[in-house]
Amino acid sequence: MNRRILHIEDNENNRYLVAFLLQANGWEVVAAPDGPAGLAAAAAVGPALILLDIQLPGMDGYAVARALKADRALAPIPVVALTSYAMAPDRAAALAAGCDGYIEKPIDPETFVATVEGHLRPAAGGVPA
């Protein structure tokens, strides 16, 4: 089974927390600090899932999601947006951009890994990731 997750995130503290939580549960985490690096990493490492910060410098998370879903090889990879709790419009916009789900920041260490793993399950009638 592919145990690799790509985290596209500009904030170093968030990258540290996400890597810590996922690695403690047997996941390998590849991090990218911006959208273009994230797209390159997605193609290079073939992650089981992509965690995508929305507020990125330059190319924002919506643009990254659209680029991922426009790429035939990358489109099947589940993309979970990391959105700010305070920004409800971000969530609808993330889904509209092609994200398969979202997790609100700040990250809750108690539930984060289970929530991420829940997004690996194929939706009813969907294609296994």
Interacting residues toward Mn ion by CB under 5 A: 10-11, 53, 55
| Smaller CB separation from Mn ion, 2 or 11 | 11
Q: Quote the CA–CA distance of 6 and 42 in Å, as a whole number.
A: 7
- Please identify, using beta-carbon distances, which residue of 55 and 115 lies nearer to Mn ion: 55
| Residue among 26 and 57 whose Cβ is closer to Mn ion | 57
Comparing every residue's Cβ against Mn ion, the nearest one is 55
Q: Which is nearer to Mn ion, 87 or 120 (CB)?
A: 87
Q: What is the smallest separation between the CB atom of 90 and Mn ion, expressed in angstroms?
A: 11
Structure tokens at 46: 């073939």
Q: Minimum CB separation from Mn ion for residue 92, in Å?
A: 19
Judge whether 59 and 34 are in contact, CB under 8 Å.
yes
What is the signed CA dihedral for 43, 96, 91, 12, rounded to 10 degrees? 20
Residue with tokens 């924002």: 60
The HSE-up count of residue 59 (CA atoms within 13 Å, CB side) is: 17
What's the closest the beta carbon of residue 105 comes to Mn ion, in angstroms? Answer: 9
